[in-house]
Amino acid sequence: MTFDNPAPLSLNIMILNLLIGLFLSVLLAIYYAKFGDSLSNRSKFAPILPLLSLITLLVISIVKSSLALSLGLVGALSIVRFRTAIKDPEELVFLFFAIALGLGLGADQRIPTLIAFLVIMGYLVGRKIINKSFNLSAKNNLYMNILLPLGGKSDDAFDYVNKVLGDELERVDLRKFETNGEEMRLVFYFKAKSANTLANLSNRIHEKHAKATISIVEQNNLLGG
């Protein structure tokens, strides 16, 4: 690494690294989209992972040959502020995984990066198989808040919501019930294995109560959760 004259960047090596990075990061994105446990919209989050890997690879490839560019990168990153908080630990782990792929390949460490990728993916796949075989997958402890406008009339809204939750969930507990004749507010504690269950709940409730407001909050750390 030089300070004044950056070493020439080999385009052939960079293209090779980009192709390897694209292949590995796409595999990572497919795994996250298909087998991730996050309740967020994984299908929209997964395509970001290859982009993150390739951009990291590009930055490292350019700055690795010049101390001046490296110092400039540190200065530029020191003033960047990211406003979107990553609240799901799994999302954060996969973001770091994607960045690590870009860092390794950008530094021309292809063999160590490939070995590390295989080891980490092997662990993820093995853990998924073991959890499925022994039914060890963690369930998400959730609170569902439902606000049902009644339109000034009495109906079977409460019975209908109870029936829907009973059909879709194995365990559900009513924690709060409020009504003033115009609207009904319900709070349920329940457990769900996947985001598909939550989508089914929302769709079925909105089929009969189109103006219903539904919010779901994950509370894995609460006592009794």
The pLDDT tens digits of the residues spanning 117-134 come to: 999 999 999 998 888 787
Question: Is 225 within a domain?
Answer: no
Q: pLDDT higher for 38 or 97?
A: 97
Q: Tell me whether residue 200 is in a domain.
A: yes
State the pLDDT confidence band at 221, using cuts at 50, 70 and 90: very low
223 belongs to a structural domain: no
Q: Tell me, what CATH number does 165's domain have?
A: 3.30.70.600
State residue 168's pLDDT score.
81
Residue 224 lies in a domain: no
168 and 86, same structural domain? no
* Residue 16 and residue 99 in one domain: yes
Q: State pTM to two decimals.
A: 0.60
Q: Decide which of 171 and 100 is more confident.
A: 100
Same domain, 26 and 95: yes
Displacement of CA 124 from its chain's centroid (Å): 15
Give the pLDDT of residue 39.
Answer: 61
> Considering its fold, how many domains does the chain have in total?
2
Look at residues 102, 133, 164 and tell me which one is the last residue of a structural domain.
133
Percentage of residues in the chain having pLDDT higher than 90 = 29
Range of the domain at 191: 140-218
∠ CA 93-96-102 to the nearest 5 degrees?
A: 145
Q: Is 107 exposed, middle or buried (0-12, 13-18, 19+ CB in 10 A)?
A: middle
Question: Pick from 116, 133, 150: which residue ends a domain?
Answer: 133
Quick one: average pLDDT of 30-44? 82
pLDDT in tens, 69-80: 666 666 555 555
In whole angstroms, give the CA distance from residue 130 to residue 138: 12
Query: Which residue shows structure tokens 């808040």?
Result: 145
Q: Are residues 28 and 98 in the same domain?
A: yes
Domain identity same for 76 and 108: yes
| The pLDDT value given to residue 225 | 39
Residues 126 and 172 in one domain: no
Same domain, 20 and 128: yes
Give the pLDDT score at 182: 82
Decide if 98 contacts 53 (C-beta within 8 A).
yes
> Quick check: 102 pLDDT over 70?
yes
**pLDDT for 97 beyond 90:** yes
Amino acid 201: pLDDT: 84
- The reply to whether 127 and 150 lie within a common domain is no
Q: Are residues 113 and 189 in the same domain?
A: no
